[in-house]
Amino acid sequence: MNAPFPAPVAPNMYRYDEFDARFVSERVEQFAGQVARRLKGELTEDQFKPLRLMNGLYLQLHAYMLRVAVPYGTLSSKQIRKLAHIARTYDKGFGHFTTRQNLQFNWIKLVDVPAILRELAEVEMHCIQTSGNCVRNVTADQFAGATPEEIEDPRPLAEIIRQWSSLHPEFVFLARKFKIAVGATPHDRAALQFHDMAVEVVRNAEGRTGYKVLAGGGMGRTPYIAHVMSEFVEREDILAYLEAVLRVYNQDSRRDNIHKQRIKILINAIGPEEMRRRVDREFQELKRMGTLQLPREELDRITAYFAPPAFETGLPDTLPEAGPDFANWTRTNVHPHRAPGYAIATITLKTIGQVPGDCSAEQLDVIADIMDEFSLGEVRVTHEQNLVLPHVRKKDLPAIFAKLQELDFAAPNAGLITDIIACPGLDYCDLANARSIPVAQAIARKFADLDRQHEIGELKIKISGCINACGHHHAGHIGILGVDKKGVEFYQLLLGGSGAEDASIGEIMGPGFGEHDIADAVERVVGVYLAQRRPEERFLDTYRRIGMAPFKQAAFQKEAA
């Protein structure tokens, strides 16, 4: 007999107030009415499409896809159980965690969408700002509030940005989508420099906490690293500053060419200096009006939702011994926590051969149980398509590991070569040119040997099935881009990208590889690294030192033979 269901734990996260609940509820009923009108023919598809996109509903290759917002990647066990229920009741029994910390269901029926949105609203969830030309769901460092590295938990700011941006009358119809990320540590886990706008919590020379603001980063067809707009914005000015950036973008971006509508294009056309000048002009005007000052009491009120949990004291602060498999898992998947006796544990959804980011309803239910029993009812979604238990007692790690083994989610590979990001690709996506997932699976199988993975060390492979770059291929140490070559899938290799604090855009190697050759080409590239690396060098370091030529020569060796 199964153990009794643990009672859901209410973690320290934002909870809807009366306004939020009414806003989401009214939005659900509004969209339910729009769906009914579409089904009756009162709305054409052209009229309905922008409305469904404003509610996270896409029409993909096989069915409708519904993208559920996970604000800054934080979920409670109650929400996870609801997602499991929706997967089981309305989908085909699984969901897919995305590279923007959201979750999407791939087999949704239009007629079921109102019921699904009502179910989501019951647990304070929705699909708003997961699609369309608006400020998208804000993402954050998955270790927020748990890592000892951070200046402060960035999630209160993320929540404030969410509240400011939802239905902001000026920014409902932007030229294109606008993605914001927040972080608070020198080590960037949120790919800040690849966002339209990013905020990093910093301290200035006087020791005062404030915000560094970047803008103009992005991937897609034209990748750019973000520029610093301001090294330090005072706390109370942050919304005015962000509004100034968005206002300049909204006023000055090109709307005549879909490929030139993102803020990165604007900033790189006029130059970062001119952008800073325009932003500062708007900022001074907003400050003069004084309507967008962030009151200290409001910041404190939101911050209180995210107050650190009551961590136990006197816990053993050493990692338990529980065999070699457990030791391997802790080596890569367990990170230091701010509280003695606690740790942060990453659940990689990347067991060898698995679809990166997929999670079944049954697995979600068990993860919810683990969250309640061991992690104060909380989990985080990462942009690398993994989950994180942010607050676990070190002494509980063997028990957690054992439960993850039963789930087949105990892969000890966080940050290693088999911890691959892959977009849904041509297996699901209407925009894709090539499949991503089978390539990820083939590479993972090729490098399945754990000793070999450890020998290679940190190596981030990121795969996109088209130029839109949902799989972040520009930021992969090894990036792979799927293209269509006369109806046949083909894969380009990129080397040297990074989405971390040492951000860089990968360089395209040259002609691509066929579906059955790409994993072998990656293996030859890794072979060059192993042969040429110096002590302590990661793949990325070696690439930056020796350049593309030896890797390219090796990658095409077979073709030349």
Partner 1 sequence: MSAPVFKMLTANRLRDGDVLYRKGGGWVLTLAEADLYADAPAAEAALAQAEAELAQNIVVAPYLFDVRQEDGAVRPVKEREIIRAAGPTVRPDTGKQATA
Give me the least distance between CB of 357 and partner 1, in Å please: 12
Question: Given the complex with partner 1, which of 150 and 489 has the nearer CB atom?
Answer: 489
Euclidean distance between CA atoms 496 and 483, whole angstroms: 20
Q: Which of 265, 266, 421, 426 binds partner 1 (CB under 8 A)?
A: 426
Q: At residue 234, what are phi and psi to the nearest 5 degrees?
A: -65, 150
- Looking at the Cβ atoms of 64 and 178, the one nearer to partner 1 is 64
Smallest gap from residue 385 Cβ to partner 1 (A): 14
Judged by CB under 8 A, the stretch of 6-14, 129-137, 422-430, 469-477 that binds partner 1 is: 422-430
Comparison of 39 and 304: residue with beta carbon closer to partner 1: 39
Q: How far is the CB of 484 from partner 1 (least distance, A)?
A: 8
The first and second tokens of residue 10, run together, are 């209410």
Site string for partner 1, 249-288 (x = CB under 8 A): ----------------------------------------
Query: Which DSSP state fits 489?
Result: E
Shortest spacing between CB 91 and partner 1, in angstroms: 10
Supply the angle between the helices 18-40 and 45-53 in degrees, to the nearest 10.
160
Q: How far is the CB of 426 from partner 1 (least distance, A)?
A: 6
How far is the CA of 167 from the CAs of 24, 29, 131, 249, in angstroms?
11, 16, 13, 17
Q: Which of 290, 324, 487, 535 binds partner 1 (CB under 8 A)?
A: 487
DSSP single-letter state for residue 38? H
Burial letters 426-451, b for 16+ CB under 10 A, else e: bbbbebbbbbbbbbbbbbbebbeebe
Strand 180-183 to 139-140 pairing? parallel
The reply on whether position 437 binds partner 1 by CB under 8 A is yes
Instruction: Kindly tell me which of 38 and 227 has the beta carbon lying closer to partner 1.
Output: 38
488 binds partner 1 (CB under 8 A): yes
Q: Which is nearer to partner 1, 107 or 232 (CB)?
A: 107
Rounded CA gap, 38 and 327, in Å?
55
Site string for partner 1, 26-65 (x = CB under 8 A): ------------xxxx--xx-------------xxxxxx-
CA atoms within 13 A on the CB side of 370: 30
Q: Which residues pair with 181 in a beta bridge?
A: 139, 198
Stretch that binds partner 1, among 180-188, 271-279, 322-330, 426-434 (CB under 8 A): 426-434
Query: Which member of 139, 441, 464, 498 binds partner 1 (CB under 8 A)?
Result: 441
Q: How far is the CB of 394 from partner 1 (least distance, A)?
A: 36
CB of 327 to partner 1, least distance (A): 32
Per CB under 8 A, the segment of 79-87, 180-188, 373-381, 435-443 that binds partner 1 is 435-443
User: In sequence order, what are the residues at sequence separation of 6 or more whose Cβ sits closer than 8 angstroms to the Cβ of residue 202?
Assistant: 151, 209, 210, 211, 212, 231, 232
Q: Which two tokens stand for residue 365?
A: 């239910």
**Is 355 among the residues that bind partner 1 (CB under 8 A)?**
yes
d(CA 457, CA 414): 10
The interface mask with partner 1, positions 74-113, x = CB under 8 A, is ------------------x--------------xxxxx--
Report the alpha-carbon distance of residue 428 to residue 85 in Å, rounded.
Answer: 22
386, two tokens: 């993994």
For the chain, how big is the Rg over CA atoms in Å?
A: 23
- Total binding residues toward partner 1, as defined by CB under 8 A: 32
Instruction: Output the smallest distance, CB 533 to partner 1, in A.
Output: 33
| Sole binder of partner 1 in the list 427, 444, 447, 459 (CB under 8 A) | 427
Nearest alpha-carbon partner for 58 in 106, 10, 119, 8: 106
The binder of partner 1 chosen from 210, 438, 496, 512 (CB under 8 A): 438
Taking CA atoms, 20 is separated from 123, 134, 215, 304, in Å, by 12, 19, 28, 17
Enumerate binding residues for partner 1 (CB under 8 A).
38-41, 44-45, 59-64, 92, 107-111, 355, 426-428, 432, 434-435, 437-438, 441, 484, 487-489
